Amino acid sequence: MSPFSKSLRLSQRVAAACLRQHSSLTTELIENMDKKATWDRFYTESNSKTTTFKNFEWFFGFDAVKDFIMPLLKTKMNPDALCQILDMGCGTSALGPSIYRHSPVPVRVTCADISPIAVRLMQEHIQSKAIQPENLSSQLEFVELDCTQLHRHFGSSSVDLIIDKGTTDALLRSKEGKGKAGVVLRQCLKVLQGSGSLLQFSDEDPDARLLWLETEAQEQGVKSADVGVQEVGELRGVCYYCYQVTPRLKALQ
């Protein structure tokens, strides 16, 4: 069995267990995690089971990955400019709001998800909590956005950091999501600044994910991004990784 097949089967089990803890989603729906309707149903069901809001974290929360994220937040040469951060496929995770809360440099954190229900739940939650950012110039927004169409919300070379915690994994595990995953990667490279980075947090083995990233990031057969990996650590018997993708200058021309 190839490393990709082993990694895929493991990740499918992780995804299924993770979702079933929070929803009555069937196997058929789990295989359709690239569909808006799947996530609308998931967040509707999850929210209906409790009277108090609770963040849903795919894999792990902010504390587990803050040391990978926070060093990449840098003050702009223009003191009035904000560091543009995208939490892609945010769901109801506390990751984006935590970056907004703890960043010492001024940031604009955009939490984007394809599900309007997830976006509404997060907007209501943040309004009720009134989070105070460490830097008073920082901004936080939640938007409904299909991540295969990032260009509809962001201009080319406009984003400093994109965080993908499980979004690409969900697409790759879906029956019809693999092509969409490649589109999302190329959209990320389009909207990232030359000095920016995409961080993908995943349980997929490096033998499989690095090859996929390097292949999908090519433009007309030319490598358009540099890819690296660091181990995040082990949780519940599963090893997680941080894949960092940095666009090459040629890809931005």
Tens of pLDDT, residue by residue over 19-28, are 555 455 566 6
pLDDT tens digits, one per residue of 116-142: 999 999 999 999 988 899 999 999 999
* Proportion of the chain above pLDDT 90, given as a percent: 61
Place of tokens 């292949």: 215
- Name the phi and psi angles at 130, rounded to 5: 50, 65
| Entry field: residues in the chain | 253
If we measure between CA atoms, which residue out of 31, 26, 28 comes closest to residue 8?
31
pLDDT, average across residues 133-153? 95
The confidence score (pLDDT) of residue 46 equals 82
pLDDT tens digits, one per residue of 216-238: 998 766 778 999 999 999 988 89
pTM for the full model?
0.87
The confidence score (pLDDT) of residue 196 equals 94
**Average predicted confidence (pLDDT) for the chain:** 86
Handedness of CA 189, 190, 191, 193 (dihedral sign): positive
* Proportion of the chain above pLDDT 70, given as a percent: 85
Dihedral (Cα; 204, 210, 211, 212), 10-degree rounding? 60
pLDDT, average across residues 157-171? 95
pLDDT, average across residues 163-179? 92
For residue 185, the Cα-to-chain-centroid distance in whole angstroms is 11
Alpha carbon distance 180, 176 (integer Å): 8
The confidence score (pLDDT) of residue 216 equals 93
Alpha carbon distance 9, 15 (integer Å): 10
Does residue 2 register a pLDDT over 90?
Answer: no
Alpha carbon distance 52, 66 (integer Å): 26
pLDDT tens digits, one per residue of 30-71: 788 888 988 998 888 888 777 788 888 988 999 999 999 999
Does residue 9 register a pLDDT over 50?
Answer: no
